[in-house]
Amino acid sequence: MIQGRGDAEQQLLDDALAVQEAGAFAVVIEMVPADVAGRVTRTLDIPTISVGGGVECDGQMMVWTDAFGYTTGRSPKFVRKYANLAEQLEQAVGNFISDVHEQTYPSADESY
């Protein structure tokens, strides 16, 4: 669910300030409109880390299984897939199973 829209924007900023005052070293901003995340970043003295919060945050984070296509199915809007590891892994496993069934793995070179 997208956070910080409308009346919730001020509450999000207040919460971020409270976390900073409590001694946090950083704040993660997840699924927040970019303009709101930018306002939070400009207001705080500690770094903000974006998970779908736009480019104005101090750092970006994405779960590796999403970023590299290991997860299948629907992805959040902020996910950019840099590879399709699920497809590659499925093909690799199929090749391994086939080699075992055909008794071409392990070969003499791969045995002691």
| Residues designated catalytic | 30
Reported as a pLDDT band with limits 50, 70 and 90, residue 110 is very high
d(CA 56, CA 40): 9
Same domain for 56 and 1 = yes
Same domain for 97 and 111 = yes
Same domain for 77 and 28 = no
pLDDT exceeds 90 at position 16:
yes
Same domain for 84 and 55 = no
pTM of the model: 0.77
Reported as a pLDDT band with limits 50, 70 and 90, residue 3 is confident
Return the pLDDT at 72: 85
Average pLDDT over residues 58-87: 92
d(CA 80, CA 37): 19
Q: How many domains does the chain have?
A: 2
Same domain for 3 and 56 = yes
Domain span holding position 99: 63-112
Same domain for 67 and 38 = no
pLDDT exceeds 90 at position 44:
yes
